[in-house]
């Protein structure tokens, strides 16, 4: 039987309808990390921005399948992370900065997780945009990432 999108329930709204349309601008890595102390469940998304995402759905590039939410990545360190939070945040930004090409840029949001995408990334609905990440933050993240971590190093095998 063919997969028929018309048989699926409509997706939850991408953005929280209460969002006012105004965003703060994060100018330093310190501001990004400090934001995690106020709102611990934050995500980063590289896209053309919340206004564009409001009327769209993420799609898996390989299969073409529509995803039930926006593809995002968690900004907060996992409980097992014993290094400085700035290194985790820098890693998250650097790992996905290739998505910031063309008119896409990183922005921070919170929302309701509804599943996982094909790369095990969280999928979020009712996103509430928090802030835009300035280009200088990506430069700072790149410096922290390459100074503090073994960028691209594969894990040791037991």
pLDDT per residue as tens digits for the range 8-64: 544 555 665 556 667 889 999 999 999 999 988 999 999 888 988 887 778 898 999
pLDDT in tens, 52-94: 888 777 889 899 999 999 999 999 999 999 999 999 999 999 8
The pLDDT-based confidence of 124 (bands split at 50, 70, 90) is very high
Residue 2 has pLDDT above 70, yes or no: no
The residues, any chain, with a CB within 8 Å of residue 124's CB and separated by 6 or more, are 43, 69, 70, 72, 109, 111, 112, 113, 114
Q: CA 58 → CA 43, 50, 69, 95, distances in Å?
A: 15, 13, 6, 19
- Give 13-58 as a DSSP string: PSB-TT--S--EEE-SHHHHHHHHHH-SS-EEEEES-HHHHTT---
The predicted structure's pLDDT at residue 9: 46
The pLDDT-based confidence of 1 (bands split at 50, 70, 90) is very low
Burial of 89 (0-12, 13-18, 19+ CB in 10 A): buried
Q: How many residues does the chain have?
A: 158
The predicted structure's pLDDT at residue 155: 57
Domain ranges of the chain: 37-148
Residue 7 has pLDDT above 70, yes or no: no
Smallest CA-to-CA distance from 32 within 46, 44, 48 is with 44
Q: What is the pTM of this model?
A: 0.80
Answer for the pair 23, 50: CB distance below 8 angstroms, yes or no: yes
């Amino acid at each position: 039987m063919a997969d028929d999108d018309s048989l699926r329930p409509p997706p939850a709204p991408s953005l929280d309808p209460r969002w006012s349309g105004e965003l703060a601008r994060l100018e330093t890595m310190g501001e990004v990390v400090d934001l995690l102390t106020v709102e611990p469940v934050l995500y980063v998304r590289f896209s053309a921005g919340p206004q564009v995402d409001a009327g769209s759905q993420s799609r898996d590039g390989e299969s073409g399948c529509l995803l039930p939410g926006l593809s995002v990545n968690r900004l907060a360190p996992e409980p097992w992370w014993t290094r400085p939070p700035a290194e985790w945040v820098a890693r998250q930004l650097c790992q996905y900065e290739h998505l910031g090409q063309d008119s896409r840029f990183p922005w921070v949001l919170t929302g309701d997780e509804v599943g996982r995408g094909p790369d095990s990334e969280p999928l979020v609905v009712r996103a509430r945009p928090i802030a835009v990440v300035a280009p200088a933050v990506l430069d700072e993240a790149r410096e922290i990432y390459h100074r503090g971590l073994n960028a691209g190093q594969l894990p040791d095998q037991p």
